[in-house]
Homo-oligomer: A and B are copies of this chain.
Amino acid sequence: MGRPRKFDEHDVLIAVRRQFNETGYHGTSVDDLSRATGLSKGSLYSAFGDKDALFRRIFDEYCAGSDQNAAARVAGPEDQALDRLRAWLTAPDGGPDRRGCLLAKTTAELAWENEGIAARSLAAYETLLESCRLLIEQAQRAGQVDPAADPEALGGLVLATHRGIEALLKAGVDTATLNRIAATAIDSITLRPASA
């Protein structure tokens, strides 16, 4: 019993994530969060703890989502593995509004000074690395990637390209250019029928 909450926890967390995603951890004040969520500071504290805990919460959830998406990409049919890689490279992580990926932003901002964040970031990247490797192996079995190539190295290259596209997106490079880069990346790892 007791007074019921006026807010939906999920919606609030989305607003919080949006704010942190836009202005970063050090760049957002609790007042900003209060404004973004419509909740008073007192409510935020009683519901989620302090600023650090709240950030940790949305960051962990974001990383978990990243892990899940990676697993989902691996789970498709093998003969479309390369297509899924292409689609992944073409659709940036942060949504259509040039906000960018929270994982990338957070790693850049906090990994140097915050060991916990660094550990979670690294884990997320290693999951991505693994999923890329698996996708490359699928594409190899499907005959779309040279079976002699090292899948771990090639997967790493795809991941690096993806993170690079993400970085260029944050800088404001236009989407057409980024999509061309993505297409070129896939092309460059695609097995071409032996010429002549």
Contact = CB atoms under 8 A, between A and B. Distances in A.
A172 B27 contact: no
A91 interface: no
Given A26-B27, A104-B108, A194-B196, A181 B153 contact: yes
Which of A99, A162, A172 has the most C-beta atoms of chain B within 10 angstroms of its own C-beta? Answer: A172
Interface in A101-131: 104-105, 107-109, 111-113, 118, 121-122, 125-126, 129
Which of A125, A153, A164, A183 has the most C-beta atoms of chain B within 10 angstroms of its own C-beta? Answer: A164
A22 interface: yes
Given A24-B26, A108-B104, A185 B157 contact: yes
Contacts of A27: 25-26, 109, 113
Interface string A65-91: 000000000000000000000000000
A112 B167 contact: no
Interface string A157-168: 101111111111
A43 interface: no
Given A109-B27, A180-B153, A125 B189 contact: no
Nearest to A28: B26
A154 interface: yes
Nearest to A188: B188
A163 to B, nearest CB: 4
Interface in A124-163: 125-126, 129, 150, 152-154, 156-157, 159-163
19 contacts: A25-B27, A27-B109, A100-B112, A105-B108, A108-B170, A109-B109, A121-B172, A122-B172, A154-B188, A156-B177, A157-B188, A161-B161, A161-B164, A162-B164, A163-B163, A163-B167, A163-B168, A164-B166, A164-B167
